[in-house]
Structure 1
Amino acid sequence: MILNLTVALLVGMAPVQAAKKPSVKPAKVVAMPSNVVARYNGVDITIGALKAQLNATMARKVVPDLIQQIVIEKLAKTAGVTVAPAELAAKVKEEKAKIVGQMAQNGAMMEFSQITREFGLTEAEVTQTVRLNLLARKAFEKSIAKDVRGLDGQLKLAHILLATVPLAPSAEAQQPLTPELQKKREEDQKVRIDQMLVDINAGKLKFEDAAKQFSDDKGSGAQGGDLPWASKGTFVPEFETAAFALQKPGDISAPIKSQFGWHIIKLVQKGVNASPAEKAKFKKEQIDLRVNQPNAVQQWLGGMARGAKITFNTNTKLFK
């Protein structure tokens, strides 16, 4: 496939190269007859042999890649996306460094110019692959942008949790409390969180400090109780009802009981009131998360090309 062309090429060839002793010396250029395209351990691969192999296998191996190129170009044109020369040059430089690094990991310390000579990989091939990658990514970003949730309707919250049940597998979780002990634990945690809220409202204790010191949600607690932006449907019902009832940044809820324990919730910010820059930044982050999922772009391209019928002409000879 187009997006994996460079990696596939090098991974497939690297084991042969890895058998060599690492060297920083340029490979010696060996003069070969004009009808020889490559030489392996003294055995020549001739143009005639190459033509025969290409005629036998080229169509079914290369045509799908050519179709994908057509799909990418068409999608990019429809989406109105292009690749600027400076952007392409920077990405090509990055890809070439990646190729050199991949070879080094396989035990071959080679410059890019050596790789082109020994493996037949050209800078033009790398440039075309990189350009198609960029076009495909940009077209995919455009296609999902309209479906990515923005900040309107979302809340930035912080919370403190005093748990009444084990939150992770432990010896305690294997031995549930008796109903009497469970009731006492819930009552004790309620007393603690009530006093905590009194101290926060009186200015004796900062919400963020209380979260860091006392919250049983250690992940958010380490961040002063901060939770990611969230919309309705993210939280358990009791928590969500209390959170979306808060009116202005800084408001703190009364203690709320959920299946996990007792919470107090602070409204940090309403998404609808975020600045245009904050909204744009959030949406870009959400798009990047989707685009950077493994194989996301490739699967999207596959979906775009799915259903197209390919008919091969077995009588065609590319080379006479």
Structure 2
Amino acid sequence: MIVATTLVAMMLATAPQGTKKPTQAKPATKSAAAASLPANVVARYNGIDITVDDIRQQVNATLARKVVPDLIQRAVIEKQAKLAGVTVTAAELATKVSEEQGKVISQMAQSTGVMMKFDQITREYGLTEAEIKESVRLNLLARKAFEKSIAKELPSLDGQLHLAHILIATVPLAPGPETQTPLTKEQQDKKDADQKVRLEQIITDIKGGKLKFEDAAKQFSDDKGSGAQGGDLPWAGKGTFVPEFEKAAFALQKPGDMSVPVKSQFGWHVIKLIAKGSDASAAEKEKYRKEQLAQRTSQPQAVQQWLAGLSRGAKITFNTNAKVYK
């Protein structure tokens, strides 16, 4: 595909199948040897010449099926970028190319055990500077268009809450001996009542100043993930939590307010309101938007999946009589 995640991926995609990566630096005569090849020889592999005519015949024989999808993807990227109103500046391109070159040199050194200059690596894989720049440009353009397209789908802080909670569980939260022998209804009812009393005492100690909410969460919460963070939960809107928890959380009015004990399928919770998204500053809302965008675009294949979705269902009709070369 045109849009390779990295230049390394691009190079590996263009490497001859079955060839072994170099284990030592190429001799200084490499460029001279390449220049000495006849004009009609595109590549020479162990004395075997791949000529311009060979390529022409192969392109015609395959009806350019290997090239057409890439050209279609290129067209899709350019179209989406135009619709999104995004471009790649010369400065952005130069910076990204330099960054990718550094990654290529480092990763190739790790895989071959030999430190090679970038121009040595590109010659090894038969790539030109123009190809590399175009691949990086399309990659940047696709990412920019992708980010612009999903920006409108990102949740805003308005309508969201920043909460903390303490959970005193009434059921096993992970497989263990307790799950092998289920409690009777009477035993479960007693456990529910005992755990509620325990949580009520924790709440009394917090309100009385004997305990800080954060310390109580670290010490007592059975939700070990949030407990280790003082009970802190990420920003969330309606539809994120179980109904009982959500109802109690959205009933809280101002930062610092705590709920009464709330029963859910997991046990008893006390919920603390840290902040309301509607009260956040413009800077806080923008920071959240950027974090959400970074999270959505962090997956290496996110852009490719987006591009694939744009062309899903599209039909390509090949003209079997078409000849690229006559």
After superposition, give the CA deviation of every residue in 1:144-187 in whole Å (9 maximum; x if it has no partner): 22222111100000001111111111122222223333233222
* Structure-2 residue corresponding to 1:28: 30
CA displacement at 1:143 relative to structure 2: 1.5
The alignment status of 1:54 with 2:59, answered yes or no, reads: yes
* Aligned pair partner of 2:224 in 186, 201, 218: 218
Residue 156 of structure 1 aligns to a residue whose secondary structure is strand
Whether contact under 8 Å (1:23, 1:108) holds in the other structure is: no
* Structure-1 residue corresponding to 2:282: 276
Residue 4 of structure 2 aligns to a residue whose secondary structure is helix
Which segment drifts farther, 145-154 or 22-31? Answer: 22-31
Q: Distance in 2 between matches of 1:3 and 1:124?
A: 15
After superposition, give the CA deviation of every residue in 1:236-270 in whole Å (9 maximum; x if it has no partner): 11111111110000001111111111111100000
* Aligned pair partner of 1:116 in 97, 118, 122: 122
Q: Quick one: percent identity of the two aligned structures?
A: 66
* Aligned pair partner of 1:261 in 264, 267, 273: 267
CA displacement at 1:307 relative to structure 2: 4.7
* Structure-2 residue corresponding to 1:229: 235
CA displacement at 1:88 relative to structure 2: 1.4
Report the CA distance shift for 1:248/1:27 in structure 2 as closer, same or farther (over 3 A): farther
The alignment status of 1:16 with 2:19, answered yes or no, reads: yes
Report the CA distance shift for 1:193/1:140 in structure 2 as closer, same or farther (over 3 A): same
The alignment status of 1:85 with 2:87, answered yes or no, reads: no
The alignment status of 1:143 with 2:149, answered yes or no, reads: yes
TM-score by length of 1: 0.91
Whether contact under 8 Å (1:21, 1:108) holds in the other structure is: yes
Q: Distance in 2 between matches of 1:260 and 1:186?
A: 10
Q: Distance in 1 between matches of 2:29 and 2:291?
A: 45
The alignment status of 1:168 with 2:174, answered yes or no, reads: yes
Q: Distance in 1 between matches of 2:324 and 2:172?
A: 69
Report the CA distance shift for 1:275/1:65 in structure 2 as closer, same or farther (over 3 A): same
Q: Distance in 2 between matches of 1:266 and 1:257?
A: 15
* Aligned pair partner of 1:100 in 61, 85, 105: 105
Report the CA distance shift for 1:254/1:24 in structure 2 as closer, same or farther (over 3 A): farther
Q: How many residues align?
A: 319
* Structure-2 residue corresponding to 1:3: 3
RMSD over equivalenced CA pairs, Å: 2.2
Residue 265 of structure 1 aligns to a residue whose secondary structure is strand
Residue 157 of structure 1 aligns to a residue whose secondary structure is strand
Report the CA distance shift for 1:179/1:303 in structure 2 as closer, same or farther (over 3 A): closer
Report the CA distance shift for 1:284/1:27 in structure 2 as closer, same or farther (over 3 A): farther
Which segment drifts farther, 293-302 or 238-247? Answer: 293-302
Whether contact under 8 Å (1:156, 1:268) holds in the other structure is: yes
Q: Distance in 1 between matches of 2:29 and 2:238?
A: 62
* Aligned pair partner of 1:286 in 267, 284, 292: 292
Which segment drifts farther, 4-13 or 202-211? Answer: 4-13
Is there any run of 5+ residues in structure 1 with no aligned partner, and where?
A: none
Q: Distance in 2 between matches of 1:38 and 1:255?
A: 74
The letter of the residue matching 1:184 is: K
Residue 269 of structure 1 aligns to a residue whose secondary structure is strand
Q: Distance in 2 between matches of 1:12 and 1:176?
A: 59
Which segment drifts farther, 284-293 or 308-317? Answer: 308-317
